[in-house]
Amino acid sequence: MTTEAGRRIALADDHPFMLLALRQLILAAGNLEFIGEATTGLEALTLVRSKRPDILIADIGMPKLSGLLLARRLGDDCPETKVIVLTAHDDAAHVKQALAAGVRGYLVKRSAPDTLVPAIKAVLAGGTFVDPLVAGHLFPRRRSRQASIGGLSERECEVLKMCAAGHSTKEIAAQMMLGIKSVETYRSRAMGKLGLKSRAEIVGFGLAQGWLA
């Protein structure tokens, strides 16, 4: 069967029942192609290197190579494959660690039946998806960070939006036809104006602004 480009999905989880449930959700979506599964992080690394899926959905706590270490490895080896992690953790600290590792989606297992397909669609569209159960914890409601985006220049705002959506500096530079140094400058200025300290906080600000909906 031929499927649309950009819809090839692989799974990695050391729990057979979770793999079965995830596979059924993917197949039920109708427009996603399931291309394989792994039960350890090292198996997942081999699977991705050989089949090059568009998205890998991985348990954050797999044996031999954790989901976060796997995401870091794939960011270097197979950057075209985006990683969505599944976890039981619903706190901001784990979300920030995952985003720092380069994942493009963070799902809490108990809500996966409702969030898996929306997360896949968001990431396929070039965005970042954070489970609604934890999104509210990611962006601390400090007054200094309630600043209006009206304080940003048009370029600063555009760069920040693309950063929040998970685009790399190189991708932003290419799309905006700017130099990498210019993109870094706009991002730094925007972060300074809004009091943001990390990529995780940029994503949190984007969620609060509705940019990633």
Question: Residue 211: what pLDDT?
Answer: 74
H-state helical runs in the chain: 16-29, 41-51, 67-77, 92-100, 112-124, 132-138, 154-164, 169-176, 180-194, 199-209
Question: Residue 136: what pLDDT?
Answer: 64
Is the pTM higher than 0.85? Answer: no
The domains of the chain are located at 8-138, 143-209
* CATH class (in words) of the domain with range 8-138: alpha beta
Q: Residue 44 above 90 pLDDT?
A: yes
Q: What is the rounded average pLDDT of the residues 60-86?
A: 91
Q: Residue 7 above 60 pLDDT?
A: yes
At 117, list the tokens.
């397909």
Higher pLDDT, 52 or 137: 52
Query: Could you tell me what percent of the chain has a pLDDT over 90?
Result: 38
> What is 143-209's CATH number?
1.10.10.10
Question: Residue 165: what pLDDT?
Answer: 78
Total residues belonging to the chain = 213
What is the per-residue pLDDT across 99-158, written as a single tens digit (0 to 9) for each?
Answer: 888 898 899 998 888 889 988 988 887 778 888 778 766 655 444 444 456 678 889 988
Q: DSSP secondary structure string, 154-210?
A: HHHHHHHHHHHTT--HHHHHHHHT--HHHHHHHHHHHHHHHT--SHHHHHHHHHHHT
For tokens 């159960």, the residue is 133
Question: Residue 213: what pLDDT?
Answer: 55
Distance of alpha carbon 110 from alpha carbon 124, whole angstroms: 22
Q: Residue 6 above 60 pLDDT?
A: no
Q: How is the beta sheet containing 105-108 ordered, strand by strand? A: 33-38, 8-12, 55-59, 82-87, 105-108, 129-130
Q: What is the rounded average pLDDT of the residues 13-36?
A: 91
Phi, psi of 147 (to 5 degrees): -55, 140
Question: Residue 133: what pLDDT?
Answer: 79
